[in-house]
Amino acid sequence: MPQPLRIEAGEITAESILEALGEGRRVVVSTEVLGEPHEITLRHDGEQYYCDTPTTLHTHDSREEMLECIHKHGYATDA
């Protein structure tokens, strides 16, 4: 299994995140929620995209939905 890509929120582009997911890598995003540090893990199993947060696991059915999530939560530089 490839090593996860560890980034700070806003460090790289959404396209770079999606490319890493397409290569089978997990992307671990360090971010701040309500003043507390959190890690969000983004992953793709070939069919479904996943966002693992400290409180929730949610899924996306398409690349476009995942892109929308990345932008909505500010995980990429181009959010």
pLDDT of residue 9 exceeding 70, the answer is yes
45 CB burial (10 A radius; 0-12, 13-18, 19+):
exposed
Burial class (CB in 10 A: 0-12, 13-18, 19+), 75: buried
What tens digit of pLDDT does each residue of 10-61 get? 999 999 999 999 999 999 999 988 888 999 999 999 999 999 988 889 999 9
Cβ proximity of 13 and 76 under 8 Å: yes
Decide if pLDDT at 1 tops 80: no
Please report the pLDDT score of residue 2 as a whole number: 82
| pTM for the predicted model, two decimal places | 0.91
CB 43 within 8 A of CB 50: yes
Q: Is the pLDDT of residue 79 over 80?
A: no
CA distance 34 to 21: 27
